Amino acid sequence: MVPIPSPRKDSNASPLGWLTRSSSNWLPPLLGTGGFLLLWQLFSMSGVIALPAPSSLFTEERTRTLIFYPFYDRGGLDKGLFWQTLASLSRVAQGYTLAALVGIAVGITIGLKPTINRAFDPLFQFLRMVAPLAWVPIALVLFQKNQPAAIFVIFITAIWPILINTAEGVRQIPQDYRNVALVLQMSSRRFFTKVLIPSALPYIFTGLRISIGLAWLAIIAAEIVMPGTLGIGFFIWDAYQQNYVGEIVLGVIWIGAIGLVLDRLMAALQNYISPGK
Amino acid sequence: MTLASSKDAAVLAGQPNTTSPFLHFRDLGKVYPTPKGPYSVLENVNLEVNAGEFICVIGHSGCGKSTLLNMVSGFAMPSSGEVLLHGVPIKKPGPDRMVVFQGYALLPWMTAYENVVLAIDSVKPNLSQQQRRDIAMEHLEMVGLTAAANKCITQISGGMKQRVAIARALAIRPEVLILDEPFGALDAITKAELQEELLKIWNTQKCTVLMITHDIDEALFLADRLVMMTNGPAAGIGEVMAIDFPRPRNREDIMEDPRYYELRNRALDFLYNRFAHDDT
C-alpha cells in the first residue's frame, strides 16, 4: 500500500516536520551549489586550475579582512566592501534612473507613433547590440570627464530593454480599451493616466527588471574608466592589476550576490504593483 | 408600439428636428479593400429609426451586422451613403452613441465602480464629484451591483461584467445605445435576467437601442422592430418585422400570445429557408 502523506497537525506545527516536507525545495539547490564549490576546491587544491580555492577566501589574510569587516575605513580607497558597494550602487542608481525616465518616455512615444518607431527602430536595434565595454571610449570622448562617462555607460546599457518593452506594452493596449477611450472622447491626459500607463505597466516592469540587472552588469565597465575612485568595479580592476586573485574572486561573488538581490527586489516591486502578471 | 406613438415619443423627448428622422440610414454601403479586390459588405441599406425605439438586428455571421452598427458608433465610415443622427452625418465616435462592446471592454485594473465613474468623469466633467458618485451608484444599483461595486473586474463573473458594461454605458445618458451581441457568452438564466434588467432600464431612460443578436426569442422579447439582414457579400436589409406586443412586457404573457409564434416562424423562415446560410 502506498503511504498517503497525511497532513498531521503535530508534524505541521514542528519546524523539523516542515523542513522535511519542503526538502524538495531546498535540497537540490543546496546539493548543486555545494557540489560546485566542492569541485572547485578539489580542482584548485590539485592544481588543475590556477584560481584560488573557495576556502582560501577565508584563510588568506586580505580576503578574510574584506569578508569579516565590510565596514572598515582606512581612508582613501582602502575601504570595506560595504562602502565600495554603496559607491557603485549610487552610480548605478543615477544611470538607471536616467535610463528609466528616458526609456519610458521614448518608449511611449514610439509605441504611440508607428512612423517615429519606423524611423528609429533600426538605430535602436543596432545600438542595443553594442557591448557596455565598447561604450567606454565613446563615453570618454563624449564627456571628457570620468563621472558623467561612467553614468552614461550604465545609462546606455540599461535603456534598451526599458525602451523596447515600454513601446511593446503601448502597442499591446487592446483595441477595446482604445475604443472605449474614443467613444467617451477621453482627453489625452486621462487616456494616458487611466488607460495607457496601467495597461502598459506589466511590460514596463519587465523592462525595468531586465535593465536593473544590466545596469549592475555594466558597473565594471563603467568604473574601469574611473581610476582612483571608490567602487566595486574599480576594486576588481585594481585587484587584477595588482594580481590579488583572491580579491577578484571575492569581488565577483559579491557583485553576483548584489545583482541577485537587486533582481529580487525588482521582482517583489513588480509583484506588488501589478500582481497576477 | 405603433409608428404614431413612437413619433409622439420623439416629440415628447424634445428632439430638435421633427422633419428628419431621429436616426437615418440612407443608401448606406460599405466596401472593404482586400488583396483580391474590393469586397462589398453592405449595399443599399435604408432604414429610419425613431427616437426611443428598440431595434434588434439579426442575420447570419458575416452579413455585416457589426459593420452596420460600427457606422452608427463612428468606428467605421460608410463607403457610400450616410448615417444621419438628427439629420447630421455621423463622422466619429462620441458619447451620444455609447457602445456595449462584445468583450465588455472594461478596464481590469479598476473596480466596477471606478469603471463607471471613469466614463462619467470623461463625458460629464462639469458635474460635482458627489453628483458623479451618485450617478455611478444609481446605475450600478439598476443592474443589481451595489454589493459588488468595489470588486475588481478580474474578480467578477461574465454576467456581472456585462452588467457593469451596461451600467457604464447608461450612466452617461447616451441618445443611442449600441449593443453587439451583449448576452451571447452568458448562460441561459443570466441571459434572461439581464434581458429583463435591460428592458426595465430602457423603460425608464427611453434611449434608442440598436442591438445585434443571434437569438430570435431575445429579439421578440425586447425589440419594437426586428431588422433581418440578407446574406453577404453585399448584404442588405431583407425585411423589417414590427413586434407590437404591449409594454411593459412579461415573458410568459408574450409567449402565450398567438402572434408570438407567427412572428417567430416568420423570422425562422427568413433565416433558415429564404436566406439559409450556404455553408457548404
Whole-number pLDDT of residue A12? 53
Q: Is-contact A64 A58, C-beta < 8 A?
A: yes
Q: Give the list of residues 6+ apart from residue A126 with CB closer than 8 angstroms, or none.
A: none
Is pLDDT of B167 > 80? yes
* Site of grid cell 489625452: A188
- Please state whether the predicted TM-score (pTM) of the whole model is above 0.95: no
**CB contact, 8 Å: A24 with chain B?**
no
Q: Which residues pair with B45 in a beta bridge?
A: B28
B53, B44, B40: which is closest to B25 by C-alpha? B44
The full set of domain ranges for chain B reads 107-173
Lowest mean per-residue pLDDT among A61-65, B21-25, B115-119, B140-144: A61-65
The closest of A166, A60, A45 to A112, measured between CA atoms, is A166
Which residue(s) pair with B42 in the sheet?
Answer: B30, B235
Angle value at C-alpha B212, between B206 and B217, nearest 5 degrees: 85
Partner B contacted by A176 (CB < 8 A) = yes
Task: Report pLDDT for B131.
Answer: 94
Grid cell 535603456 in the structure block, residue = A159
ipTM here:
0.84
Q: In a 3-state reduction of DSSP, which class is residue A55?
A: coil
Report residue A260 CA to chain centroid gap. Answer: 7
Q: What pLDDT was estimated at residue B10? A: 44
Distance between CA atoms of residues B206 and B8, nearest Å: 13
Given a cut of 90, whether residue B175 has pLDDT beyond it is yes
Cell reading at A13: 506545527
User: pLDDT above 70 covers what percent of chain B?
Assistant: 92
Test the B interface: residue of A173, A176, A184 with most B CBs within 10 Å: A184
Distance, CA of A48 to CA of A60 (rounded, Å)? 20
DSSP B56-115: EEE--TTSSHHHHHHHHHTSS--SEEEEEETTEE--S--TTEEEE-TT----TTSBHHHH
d(CA A274, CA B127): 32
Chain B residues near any Cβ of chain A (below 8 Å): 73-75, 92-95, 97-99, 101, 103, 105, 107, 109-110, 118-119, 121-123, 154, 172
State percent of chain A over pLDDT 90.
Answer: 48
Highest mean pLDDT among A71-80, A219-228, B62-71, B217-226: B217-226
Q: What is the signed CA dihedral for B60, B66, B68, B69, rounded to 10 degrees? A: 130
Interacting residues of B279 by C-beta distance below 8 A, sequence separation 6+: none
pLDDT band at A1 (very low <50, low <70, confident <90, very high): very low
Of B93, B103, B154, the CB nearest to A183: B93
Residue A171, classified by CB atoms within 10 Å of its CB into exposed (0-12), middle (13-18) or buried (19+), is middle
Q: Cβ contact (<8 Å) for B75 and A176?
A: no
Secondary structure letter of residue A78 according to DSSP: -
Sorting pLDDT into bands at 50, 70 and 90, what band is B142? confident
Which of A8-12, A204-208, B198-202 is predicted least confidently? A8-12
For chain B, helix, strand, coil in percent to 5 are 40, 25, 35
DSSP code, position B155 = G
Percentage of chain B lying above the pLDDT 90 cut: 58
Average pLDDT of A90-104? 95
Tell me the average pLDDT of chain A.
Answer: 87
On whether any CB of chain B is under 8 Å from the CB of A33, the answer is: no
Segment holding A233, helix H or strand E: helix A232-241
CA distance A97 to A112: 23
Residue in B111, B122, B166, B180 to test binding to A, most A beta-carbons within 10 Å: B122
**What tens digit of pLDDT does each residue of B249-270 get?**
888 888 888 899 999 999 999 9
Q: Give me the pLDDT at residue A79, please.
A: 83
Question: A130 pLDDT exceeds 80?
Answer: yes
Cα angle value A211/A216/A217 (rounded, 5°) = 95
Q: How far apart are CA A204 and CA A161, in angstroms?
A: 9
Per-residue model confidence (pLDDT) at position B13: 47
Residue to test with chain B: of A177, A178, A180, A186, most B Cβ within 10 A: A180
Residue B62 pLDDT grade (very low, low, confident, very high; cuts 50, 70, 90): confident
pLDDT at B271 over 80: yes
Kindly state the helix (H) or strand (E) to which residue B178 belongs, with its residue range: strand B176-180
Quote the pLDDT of residue A225.
67
Q: Which of B60, B62, B65 has the alpha carbon at shortest distance from B45? A: B65
Q: Measuring CA to CA, how many Å separate A119 from each of A113, A124, A129, A158?
A: 10, 10, 18, 21
CA A70 – CA A216 distance, rounded (Å): 20
pLDDT of residue B190: 87
Check pLDDT > 60 for residue A212: yes
The pLDDT value given to residue B235: 87
